[in-house]
Structure 1
């Protein structure tokens, strides 16, 4: 049972990373950049509490989109609504402080 759960959660992270990789690579190409740095807002119990999901997601994303530096920002607002907005505001605020 444990092996099945590990396999399913790994595959879920890989599928999520594949979709993200396609989006960030397209963003990089459209902007004509050699390297893209972007912040992605995430929300959800799977990303937050699963012991390996976030690391599997990040590793797979780095393998699929090596020219994109993706930072994940966990949204703690209690729902998926606004996660991207929270990430954008937090990223902008952090950049303004540098």
Structure 2
């Protein structure tokens, strides 16, 4: 079982990744593009990452945005589906 701090850290990483790709997860949920359970599952997938510090560094280096997640991202498919302009 993940502890609260770990879940919060990974929830923040998922949200930052989405923002970096131009995705507003809250808006996507309100529009019905993603279910809240999918977001929760994304956070749990993220907790399985072996190097969240590397991800945080990648996000820091892409403050201007990015077209896609890094290849190792466990939520790559979800983010690609939600990315604006992707049908």
The normalised TM-score by structure 2 is: 0.31
Structure with bigger RCO (C-alpha 8 Å, 6+ apart):
2
